[in-house]
Amino acid sequence: MTRSLTVIGHSSRQLGGIVYAYHQHRYEARERIKRREREAESERLKRECRAQRQKRRRAGALDLLIAYTRRAAGLELDT
């Protein structure tokens, strides 16, 4: 942004460059907001997937523990 606004703009008049720079700034700001929202959504999905994996892993471990306890209890009842 070291060039003058008249060079940046599509008009040779100073005002044209200012208006162009204003709209360019607004567009870039909107793009940054959209990018942050996309990144936040991506992070949220990653956290949800990680939580589901951990939940499934815990549920699997719990199922194994229940099965082991039932087998042990069944063995004790048989003896």
Q: What are the tokens at 58?
A: 């815990």
Answer yes or no: is pLDDT of 9 > 80: no
Residue 46's pLDDT is 95
DSSP type of residue 30: H
Domain that holds residue 14: 5-78
Calpha distance 53→60 (Å, rounded) = 10
Residue 20's pLDDT is 87
Closest CA to 24 of 35, 8, 11: 8
Question: Which residues, at least 6 apart from 48, have a Cβ–Cβ distance to it below 8 Å?
Answer: none
Average pLDDT of the segment spanning 29-38: 97
Average pLDDT of the segment spanning 55-73: 86
61 residue type, one letter: A
Number of structural domains the chain divides into: 1
